[in-house]
A and B are shown apart, each in its own frame.
Chain A
Amino acid sequence: MQLYSPMSTTPKRKAFRAPPLAGLDGLRIGILENGKLNADEMLREVAQLFVERHGCTVRTVASKKNASAPAPAPTLVQLAQEVDFLITGLGD
C-alpha cells in the first residue's frame, strides 16, 4: 500500500549556532523579556552578575508584547546591532 506522508513538505532549515564569544569582559548586554510577571526582574538580576563579574554594561532592554509569539524581526535586528550578547528567558 502506498501512503502519502502527512508531514510538512517544507525543506529543513539550516540552523547554525552563533560562534562562541572570545571573552565576556566589557561586553554590551541586551535583555529581551517576555512581558510576564517577574521576567524583567529575573533577567536584570542575571545581567547584574555579568556587570559585577565582567564589567559588562546593559545597553538595551527590549520587551515582547506577546510572551508566546516570536519576537518581531525589527526587535531582533535592532538588538543585534546594539549589543554583543543577549539574555532572554521565560518569566512567570
Chain B
Amino acid sequence: MSAVKPRIHEAPDDLLAAIDWCYEQGWTDGLPVVPPAVERVKAMLAAETRPAETVIAHHPATGLDLSLHAAAANAVMAGCLPEYFPVIVAAFEAMDRTEFNFHGSTASTGGSAPLIIVSGPLADEIGMNSDVNLFGPGNRANGTIGRAVRLILRNVFQMLPGISDKSTQGNPGKYSFCIAERARGNPWPLLCEAHGYAKGTSSVTVFAGGGFANVENHGGNKPEEILISVADTMANYGCITLGQSVVILAPEHMKIVADAGWSREKVQDFLFATARRSVEGMKGAGKYRDREYDAQHGEGASALAVAGFMHRGLRPDDILVTMGGGDAGGHSCFIPSWSRGRSSIMQHNAIAAPPAGAKQ
C-alpha cells in the first residue's frame, strides 16, 4: 500500500499558541513539544540520504508504517538536533526486527520502555552523556533521542495509554530512556566493537527495559563481592524471569572487576551462574510455570529447570554488561527485561554516518 503525502497543518504563528495547538492535537507525551515546522523537519531529514518516504519500521498489529518523514517530525517535536537523527533511525530499524516485538513490548501491561544504548565515537560527536547522572536529566541528546522514540510510538504507531498501551504502571523511562556507553576508562571492548562493527562505526542497542534497579555496594573490594550484589538484584522474586538483562557497572565497580583481570565474558558467566532461584523457591512464590520452560523456551530452558534452578535468562550472553556513570559512587544498575519472558530480544544496529553537508 503506497503512502499518502505527509499532511501539512496550519497552526497559529505565535509560538506559544502553536505549542498549545500541538497539545490540542494529542501529539505530546504530556510535556510541551517543539512545533514540527516544515523547515525544521526538512533540516532533520537532511541528516539522511534516503528519500523521506522510505519506510524504516512497520507495526505488525495495526499495519502502520514509520517513514523517515514521520520520524523526523517527531524528532523535531522531541527537541532533537539533526545530528541525532541517525541514532533514532538506527534504533527503529533495529526495533523493527521480529525478535524485538515492539508491538508487544509497548502494548503490554508489563510497561516496558525501549532502552537505547549508543556505543562508539558518535556518542561524543553529538554530545551524549555517558558519565555522571547517566540516566538523569540535563543532556539534550540523551533526553531528546529517548523522547523522540516515545513520541514516534505514540504518534506514528498510535500506542496510546489506556487504548493500545495497556501498561499497568508504566515506568519513568517511557518519557525517555537513552544513554551512551562510557568509553573513557572502559577496560573492555565497547559494545560496537564487541558486536563486530567496523572500526569507527558506532552502534545502537535497543532493549525493552522493564524499569531500573539501583545496585549499591560501597564496601566490596573484590569482583565477587560487587557482582553478588548485582546478581541478587537480578534474581529477586519480583524480577527473575527467563528474560534478558542489562547491567551498567559504575566506574568504581568496574575498576574493582577489571583490576582483578575479569573480562566481560567472565562477568557474564558469574552473573548467570549466581543470579538464580531454586525451582522449589519459585514454586513457593507462585512464579514457576513449567510451560514457560517446555513449550515456549525449548530444551535449554527445560534442562535448567530439571537441574533445579531458574536462572535470570537462558545463557550468560543474555546479560549485556558495560560501564556508565560518574567516577564517584558505588552505584551500578540492573535493568530487567519486559515482563516475564523472552518475548522481546535485544537488537543492535550500526548507526549510519550523516551525509556530507548535513548540518552538524
**Contacts from A to B (Cβ < 8 Å):** 1-11, 13, 35, 37, 63, 65-70
Contact = CB atoms under 8 A, between A and B. Distances in A.
A7 B7 contact: yes
A68 B8 contact: no
A35 B11 contact: no
Contacts of B157: 8
Given A65-B296, A68-B343, A69-B343, A3 B37 contact: yes
B291 A6 contact: no
Contact of A3 (B38, B61, B69, B151): B38
B60 A69 contact: yes
B287 to A, nearest CB: 10
B36 A3 contact: yes
Interface stretch (B70-78, B122-130, B257-265): B70-78
How many chain B residues sit at the interface, stated as a range, is 35 or more
A70 B61 contact: yes
Given A11-B3, A35-B295, A68-B101, A6 B27 contact: yes
Contact of A2 (B1, B10, B98): B10
A2 B3 contact: no
Contacts of B63: 10, 13
Interface centre among A5, A7, A8, A63 (most CB of B within 10 A): A8
A8 B65 contact: yes
Contacts of B9: 2-5
A55 B6 CA distance: 53
Interface in B1-42: 1-13, 15, 18, 22, 27, 35-38, 41
Interface centre among A4, A7, A13, A65 (most CB of B within 10 A): A4
B288 to A, nearest CB: 11
B104 interface: yes
Contacts of B139: none
B155 A7 contact: yes
Given A9-B65, A65-B296, A68-B103, A4 B343 contact: no
Given A37-B291, A68-B101, A69-B343, A6 B8 contact: no
Contacts of B36: 3-6
Given A1-B18, A68-B105, A69-B104, 4 more contacts: A2-B37, A6-B27, A11-B3, A68-B103
A10 B3 contact: yes
A8 B156 contact: yes
B156 A7 contact: yes
Nearest to B110: A68
B322 interface: no
Nearest to A68: B104
Contacts of B7: 4-5, 7
24 contacts: A1-B10, A1-B35, A1-B37, A2-B9, A2-B37, A3-B18, A3-B22, A3-B36, A4-B36, A4-B41, A5-B73, A6-B27, A8-B66, A9-B6, A9-B70, A13-B63, A63-B295, A65-B295, A65-B296, A68-B105, A69-B98, A69-B101, A69-B103, A70-B61
